[in-house]
Amino acid sequence: MSKFYLIGKISQDLMQRMQNDPSADRYASTKKVTEAAGLKLVSYEWVRGRFDVISCVEGEYEQAVALKIAFKNSGLMDDLMIHEVIDYNKAFTNAANAANSVIKPGK
């Protein structure tokens, strides 16, 4: 099982809906659709800045993509990025090993 961060920008439609009903429980709604995609919702936060929401989920990549598709097709999100948590030590070890096999032209 992998961990993913989904970072999104809400649509104008959702922004208007939230203004009309500011007490709406978006956490419960998000948890429901997250679990329907087969993922576990770890955290869900509204943030300041270029994007509006960040959630952390656990599951498989295809499940995270399914969640992105569901939210984008609902019209509630304008943008939703998926970032998978990686083992950076393993990634840089693999990069160091690969670098030893790089052959530069002319050498």
Does domain 2-99 fall into CATH 3.30.70.260? yes
Q: Residue 68 in contact with residue 82, Cβ under 8 Å? A: yes
CB atoms within 10 A of CB 24: 12
Q: pLDDT tens across 17-68, in order? A: 999 999 999 999 999 999 999 999 999 999 999 999 999 999 999 999 999 9
pLDDT at 59: 98
Q: What does the block give as tokens for 60?
A: 């498989």
* All structural domains of the chain with their residue ranges: 2-99
Whether residue 107 is predicted with pLDDT greater than 90 in this model: the reply is no
Amino acid at 45: E
Judged by DSSP in three states, 86 sits in coil
User: CA 72 → CA 48, 65, 77, distances in Å?
Assistant: 21, 10, 5
Q: Residue 60 in contact with residue 85, Cβ under 8 Å? A: no
Q: What percent of the chain has pLDDT over 70?
A: 100
